[in-house]
Amino acid sequence: VGMHQAMLAQAVLEVVVERSAALGVTRVAAVHVLLGEDDEHTEDALRYAWSEVSVGSCAEGAEFVIERTPGEGLRLAAMDVERAEPAQTKDPMPVEVAID
């Protein structure tokens, strides 16, 4: 996996961890990202990079869901989270963060 994919995955992870802490989330079940159609990164390489960088975080083992979107870049669209209480809920405020 290229250094660049690892950096992208790390950038997404940082946002996920930050948002999770703010929301009182204990575990992230899935992360939904938008990947630009013009981007040359392969989905497999990004998924692999994610599985590597997320180890030891609240998002370890989270499904990395990639949706292709016009343009370039990778950004976080939404997270499926588990809060401290058992009710599993979709993040009520999906966050979009542009990641260069």
- The pLDDT tens digits for 10-65 are 999 999 999 999 888 889 999 999 999 988 889 999 999 999 999 999 999 999 99
pLDDT reading at 81 higher than 50: yes
User: What was the pLDDT predicted at 100?
Assistant: 44
CA separation for the pair 71, 94 (Å, rounded):
20
